[in-house]
Amino acid sequence: VKPVYLDYAATTPMRPEVRAAMAPFLEEVFGNPSSAHRWGRAAAAALAEARAEVAAALGARPSEIYFVRGGTESDNLALLGRCAHIRSRGGTPKLVVSAIEHHAIMDSARHAREAFSADCVVLEVPSDHPLDVEALGDEVDEDTVVSLMWVNNETGIRLPIRRAAEVVREGGGTLHSDAVQAIGKVPVDVSDTPVDLLTVTGHKIYGPKGSGLLFVRTGIDLAPLLHGGGQERALRPGTEDVAGAMGLATAVRLVVAEREEESERLRALRDALEERLRGALDGVRINGLGAPRAPHITSLGIQGVDGQALLTALDLEGVAASGGSACASGSTKGSHVIEALYGEADTRATVRFSLGRGVTPEQIERTAAVTIDVVARMRESGAPS
C-alpha cells in the first residue's frame, strides 16, 4: 500500500504547471535581469511578468511586490526592516505579536528587542473563540508594528486580519500578516484588507522551495537587511532568481484561482477525519476547535500516549504527519503554540494532519483507521505518556 502524506503544511510537491513555467529560465533564458543586453532584457521582462501575475492574484500593484527567498526572510524583512526604519527616523519601535506566531516572527521580535531596543507585547490567543482585536487600538501609535498571522501553521486557527488591519490603521501603526498558510485556503486580497505588509512563501503552495515575497503597501518605508546591488528597488539586493519568481507567480495564480473549490474539498476531508477519530477514540481534543479555522489543518491533542512515539508508529504504518511546526522538529521542546492555547501543564500528545491537493477520501479513511488502531494499541500497552 502506498504511504499517505498528510504534512502539506510543512511543504508540498511542486506541481507540473510550476515546473513548466520555470523550465525556460533554468536553461535558455538564463540572463541576469540587470544586464542591458538581450539576454538580460529577456530575464527582466520575465521578472516583470511574474511580479504582475502575483500582484493581480493578491490585489496589489506590481510595484508593491518584492521577491525574496522564502517565508522566513519575508517575515524578518517585514519586522526588522520596519523597526530599522522607525529607529532611523528617531522613534522607538514597539512590536505587538500574537502568542501563536511562527518562529520566524517570534525570533525576529526577540532580535528587534536587542538590536533596536524595541518594546514587545505578546497578545494571548483564545483556543475556543475568535481573537478580539478591538483592544489593539490602545496599543498602537505610529511607531508600532503589529504582526498577526492570517492562519496558524500548527492548528489552522484564523486571526481576524481585516478588523485588526482597520484598528491598526486607525491608530497610525503598521500591520504585517504572515499569510504563508492562508493563501489558497482562505481569501487573501490586499485591495479589500488594509494590511501594510504581507508574507507568502512558494513551497507551501506547490511552488519552488526558497521562493517567497513580501508585499509592501505604497507609502510604507522599510530599511533593507542586506546591502549590495540595487535589485528589488534596493530592498532585497542580490541577483534575482527569475525561474523561482516565475514558479512562485504560477503557484500563487493557480492556488488563488482554485481556492474556493479546493478549500471546500479539503474541509470535507478534514471534517470526515475529525469525526471518525472523535467517534472512535476517547480523550481526543481538536486544538482550536471553537476558533475560526482554515480548512487544511487539524491538530489533535490526544490523551494517554507519547507524541513522538505516536508519530513514529504512524510513520511505520505509512502515514506521514507531524507534531506541529516542521521547522521546530528535532527539538524536544513542546510547541509554544499549544502551550499558548492550553497552558504549560497540558500533557496531551499533539498530532497535526495537514491536507493538500494529493489527498483522497480513501487516504483519509486509511489514516483514521491506522490512527485509531495505533492509539488504542499504545494505550493498551501502557506506553509512557
Residue nearest to ligand PLP (CB): 71
181 sits near ligand PLP (criterion: CB under 6 A): yes
123 sits near ligand PLP (criterion: CB under 6 A): no
- Is 203 or 296 the residue whose CB approaches ligand PLP more closely? 203
Choosing from 327, 328, 369, 370, the catalytic residue is: 327
252 sits near ligand PLP (criterion: CB under 6 A): no
327 sits near ligand PLP (criterion: CB under 6 A): yes
Whether 242 contacts 32, CB under 8 Å: no
- Is 31 or 295 the residue whose CB approaches ligand PLP more closely? 295
**At closest approach, how far in Å is the CB of 151 from ligand PLP?**
7
Identify whether 327 is a catalytic site residue: yes
- Is 63 or 331 the residue whose CB approaches ligand PLP more closely? 331
Q: Which three cell numbers stand for residue 122?
A: 505578546
72 sits near ligand PLP (criterion: CB under 6 A): yes
180 sits near ligand PLP (criterion: CB under 6 A): yes
In one-letter notation, the amino acid at residue 276 is R
147 sits near ligand PLP (criterion: CB under 6 A): no
3-state SS record for the chain? CCCEECECCCCCCCCHHHHHHHHHHHCCCCCCCCCCCHHHHHHHHHHHHHHHHHHHHHCCCHHHEEEECCHHHHHHHHHHHHHHHHHHCCCCCEEEEECCCCHHHHHHHHHHHHHHCCEEEEECCCCCCCCCCHHHHHCCCCCEEEECCCECCCCCEECCHHHHHHHHHHCCCEEEEECCCCECCECCCCCCCCCCEEEEECCCCCCCCCCEEEEECCCCCCCCCCCCCCCHHHCCCCCCCHHHHHHHHHHHHHHHHHHHHHHHHHHHHHHHHHHHHHHHCCCEEECCCCCCECCCEEEEEECCCCHHHHHHHHHHCCEECECCCHHHCCCCCCCHHHHHHHCCCCCCEEEEEECCCCCCHHHHHHHHHHHHHHHHHHHHCCCCC
71 sits near ligand PLP (criterion: CB under 6 A): yes
- Is 207 or 301 the residue whose CB approaches ligand PLP more closely? 207
Residue 76, φ and ψ in degrees, nearest 5 = -60, -45
**At closest approach, how far in Å is the CB of 104 from ligand PLP?**
5
Q: Mark residues 201-240: x for contact with ligand PLP by CB under 6 A, - for none.
A: x-x--------x----------------------------
**At closest approach, how far in Å is the CB of 308 from ligand PLP?**
19
With CB under 6 A as the contact rule, the residue among 178, 196, 241, 262 that binds ligand PLP is: 178
Q: Mark residues 98-117: x for contact with ligand PLP by CB under 6 A, - for none.
A: ----x-x-------------
295 sits near ligand PLP (criterion: CB under 6 A): no
Give how many residues touch ligand PLP by CB under 6 A.
17
- Is 72 or 299 the residue whose CB approaches ligand PLP more closely? 72
Binding site for ligand PLP (CB under 6 A): 70-72, 75, 102, 104, 149, 153, 178, 180-181, 201, 203, 212, 325-327
For the annotated catalytic residues, the residue numbers are 327
